[in-house]
Structure 1
Amino acid sequence: MLTAARLGAAALTGALFAGVAAAPALADTAAPSASAAASSPAASSPAAASAAAPAGLYGKGDPQYDGVWRQSLALIALQQEKVVPADSAVQWLLGQQCEDGGWPSYRAEGAPCTPATEDTNATAMAVQALTALGGHQPQAGRGVEWLRAQQNPDGTWAYNPGAAGDADSTALVVNALLAAGADPAQVGAAPHTAYDGLASFQLGCAAAADQRGAFVYQPVPNAPAAANTLASAQALLAAAGGHLPVATTDRRAAPPKAPACADANGTVAHADSAEADAAYLTGKLAAGGQRLLLDTPGAAAGPDFNSTAWAVLGLVAAGHGAEAASAADWLAGNGYAWAAQGKSGTDPAATATLVLTARAAQLDPYNFGGANLVQLLADAGPKPKSAPAAGDPEATRAPGSAITEPDENSGFSAGWLIGVGLLVGIGAGILLSLNRRRHTAAAAPAVPSATDAETPAGGSAAPSEDR
């Protein structure tokens, strides 16, 4: 079946041959939001960023705020694609762990651990990375115990221990617990378990109909609760009982359902949590052109790549792959700039997120909208120890060709754009040539046959209509 992007390309080609000027809508290139959980501040210049990045770390940008986060995501994504990372990459992540089991966002080599700098987001992602890699159970186990110790009495987690909980951090910890084999329903003192803490951020039947099932980032005292896009997207994976990497699940035949709300003040039960959130996100994706839009205060209006990717991951984990497909297609057609064209070059967190998203949506991360995301990610860090051989059914294109064949997933890839440009040029040339000949024929006197025609002074014989 032709996707919207392919249909658009076909329509453009037809328009050119019909002599109609057409201008294709190009991919969105707006920058993604910088969330507390996945921010990746760019260095002021590539040179400064390169000097700040340790040799074993993925990415050249300043790692102060996201070093552990992006390293963990990169390792999870590469492990999923059966790329064995360099020992230095794994050792860098292990070396960031503090004696008490937690991870900070980043600490310089030789710098002591400061408990106040350890955070739940970095620790939760590191636990998922080490669990995915295997062979690091002691370190992952200490990370889980640290997370348990930082749980608030209400069952939630904050970014930094001691603060009020938020939905993003709580969801990420639930992901880590599930990855490590712990039951979130048993973590915490009843009735305030990890799942109870997550549920405290979900809007129920008292909310407006179009916000039911969504998650707030953090309730604000004496202010109406407001749905938050990133919180809703990241919470869905946890509510669905999933973690990274996301395994493709059996697809549900029916679309997700909003809460029934027989009780106007009813809350969303845990069993219905993922379904309610999926219904909310599906509606937001449809309203936004199959992408989620930025709703961070102060951020410029535009598409939110990070939230859209997390929504796809959550929808697939919840069994709604059909509802995730169009958003995954949109990311294939528009995500390259987010992943590869930052101030410091490749953004490993964004690239890894797209690799995970592509595989969850049953698309090809080796040719995602024309880009080989696996190669892009591998090139952003130390050389891997090994990678799949060409022809591996789990890796349809082994790392080696940064831009592969014309788009197989959808969206305008580099190949599509080049092809469209050539068609535009050829079509315009044909139209101009035909137009010039018509005008020349109309203005010129009758021309003798080619056998006895005389060439006008200072010019050439007038062209025939057959030429």
Structure 2
Amino acid sequence: MLLRRTAAAALAAFSTLATAASPAPSTHPAALYGAADPTYDGVWRQSYALLALHAADTEPAEGAVDWLAGQQCADGGFASYRADPTVPCDAATEDTNATGIAVQALAAHGDDFAAKRGADWLAKVQNPDGGWSYNPGGTTDAGSTGVAIGALKAAGTDVKSVTTDGMNPYDALRALQLPCGHTDGGAFVRLRDGGTGAPAANAKATADAVRAAEGAGFVVEAPAQDMPPRTGCEGSAADAGAAWLVRQLDQGGGYFSSGPQMPDYGTTADAVVALAAGGHLDAARGVYNWLATHAAGWSQDNPAALAQLALAAYATDNPTRDPVTRLGALVPPPQQQAESSGSGSVWWLAGTGLVVALCLGVLLAGRKTRI
């Protein structure tokens, strides 16, 4: 009886050891860039990362493009993140920003079919004024309209041909721009309906709108030569918006702020790409130089932020690969995953051998007692 209880205890110890030694299943997608919870930004940061890697002519992690394509809903749109892609999408969770940037990333990596489906979905949810809101049916905003324009271009669609009630996306952008007689003439507001009070200039909305008004997406190649920005509110919508950006950046020390002693690195990076899209290479380089010096902490382990830095470097023809290298490190290579798994297996086998030896020892001891 004592022998049986001892053997049973040894087997129980074996079971406990085996359970402890077996690696716990991970719910984090292996091909997703970044370790943070992807609930609200999984598609966004993956798409941004893929765009930056494409611009840097760098292969993405194995499965990264397939993971993004697998996030697409049956109707062509994208939600911020689908934990289980086998479950049909709730249309209420789909948004224009996730769809717009995913279309650009998939088109860059050769998935034209998925990109076209996403662009078709965007056309179906266009607002009557020609623009887009974050969620279909909301108020048109500059950022969402800018992302959608970039997506349509990436999918090979003639942006001006995408209309509702005769209004195209560029009409929607112009409706969001403050007139030249305004204190902030040339700047863009975030929403067409500014709510109560006078509409206020918005730096991010202006950067997004300037880039889109130039017909560009998130990836902008550095212009071959510099075109100095205008100093006033004349010219096209993009010219006037760029002039406002430059004035504000000059007044702010070369960067945008979200509050006292609080640099807005993201909007500053957006401004670099927007200025480059307009051909203002020297102005864009000046802003990028500030980013390169100050934004390391902001971008730490943040795929979207690293992608913004990488794309700002690309737009200014800066050869640095630091953001791209740091971005690539956010997804462990397959061989490292295999080595990690193998190491765990070694310890598991060692533990198994120890328990088996213990069981044999107990059995042998029992036999000697009987003799």
Instruction: Pick the TM interval, shorter chain.
Output: 0.7 to 0.9
Residues 331/52 of structure 1: CA separation in 2 closer, same or farther (3 Å cut):
farther
- Is 1:98 aligned to residue 85 of structure 2? no
Question: Which residue of 187, 207, 211 corresponds with 1:214?
Answer: 187
Supply the distance in 1 between the matched residues of 2:115 and 2:88 (Cα, whole angstroms).
Answer: 20
Question: Which residue of 201, 221, 224 corresponds with 1:227?
Answer: 201
- Is 1:167 aligned to residue 122 of structure 2? no
TM-score by length of 2: 0.79
- Is 1:285 aligned to residue 249 of structure 2? yes
- Is 1:62 aligned to residue 37 of structure 2? yes
- Stretches of structure 2 that go unaligned for 5 or more consecutive residues are 1-24, 336-371
Is this contact kept in 2: 1:217–1:228, CA < 8 A? Answer: yes
- Is 1:352 aligned to residue 316 of structure 2? no
Question: Which residue of 357, 363, 366 corresponds with 2:318?
Answer: 363
Identity of aligned residues (%): 44
1:249 matched residue in structure 2: 223
Supply the distance in 2 between the matched residues of 1:242 and 1:256 (Cα, whole angstroms).
Answer: 20
Is this contact kept in 2: 1:150–1:157, CA < 8 A? Answer: yes
Supply the distance in 2 between the matched residues of 1:286 and 1:163 (Cα, whole angstroms).
Answer: 34
Supply the distance in 1 between the matched residues of 2:101 and 2:202 (Cα, whole angstroms).
Answer: 21
- Is 1:302 aligned to residue 262 of structure 2? yes
- Is 1:381 aligned to residue 343 of structure 2? no
Is this contact kept in 1: 2:126–2:164, CA < 8 A? Answer: no
After TM superposition, give the deviation of residue 280 of structure 1 in Å. Answer: 0.3
RMSD: 1.9
Q: Secondary structure at the match of 1:243?
A: coil
Q: How many residues align?
A: 309
What one-letter code is carried by the residue in structure 1 that aligns with 2:178? L
Question: Which residue of 248, 258, 263 corresponds with 2:232?
Answer: 258
Is this contact kept in 1: 2:269–2:288, CA < 8 A? Answer: yes
TM-score by length of 1: 0.64
After TM superposition, give the deviation of residue 71 of structure 1 in Å. Answer: 0.1
Supply the distance in 2 between the matched residues of 1:52 and 1:251 (Cα, whole angstroms).
Answer: 48
Supply the distance in 2 between the matched residues of 1:214 and 1:53 (Cα, whole angstroms).
Answer: 41
Question: Which residue of 96, 114, 124 corresponds with 2:100?
Answer: 124
After TM superposition, give the deviation of residue 86 of structure 1 in Å. Answer: 3.0
Q: Secondary structure at the match of 1:294?
A: strand
Supply the distance in 2 between the matched residues of 1:353 and 1:114 (Cα, whole angstroms).
Answer: 30
Is this contact kept in 1: 2:61–2:328, CA < 8 A? Answer: no
1:329 matched residue in structure 2: 289
- Is 1:312 aligned to residue 272 of structure 2? yes
After TM superposition, give the deviation of residue 336 of structure 1 in Å. Answer: 0.7
Question: Which residue of 170, 178, 182 corresponds with 2:153?
Answer: 178
Q: Secondary structure at the match of 1:58?
A: coil
Is this contact kept in 2: 1:52–1:63, CA < 8 A? Answer: no
Measured against aligned partners, the alpha-carbon deviations of 1:222-256 in whole angstroms (never above 9, x if no partner) come to 42010011111111110112123211224344332
Q: Secondary structure at the match of 2:257?
A: coil
- Stretches of structure 1 that go unaligned for 5 or more consecutive residues are 1-49, 261-270, 341-345, 367-371, 386-467
Instruction: Please identify which structure carries the higher helix content.
Output: 2
Moved segments of 4+, more than 6 Å: none
Supply the distance in 2 between the matched residues of 1:200 and 1:336 (Cα, whole angstroms).
Answer: 36
Question: Which residue of 89, 114, 132 corresponds with 1:157?
Answer: 132
Is this contact kept in 2: 1:151–1:157, CA < 8 A? Answer: yes
After TM superposition, give the deviation of residue 383 of structure 1 in Å. Answer: 2.6
Supply the distance in 2 between the matched residues of 1:80 and 1:207 (Cα, whole angstroms).
Answer: 38
Supply the distance in 2 between the matched residues of 1:240 and 1:251 (Cα, whole angstroms).
Answer: 16
Is this contact kept in 2: 1:158–1:166, CA < 8 A? Answer: yes
2:57 matched residue in structure 1: 82
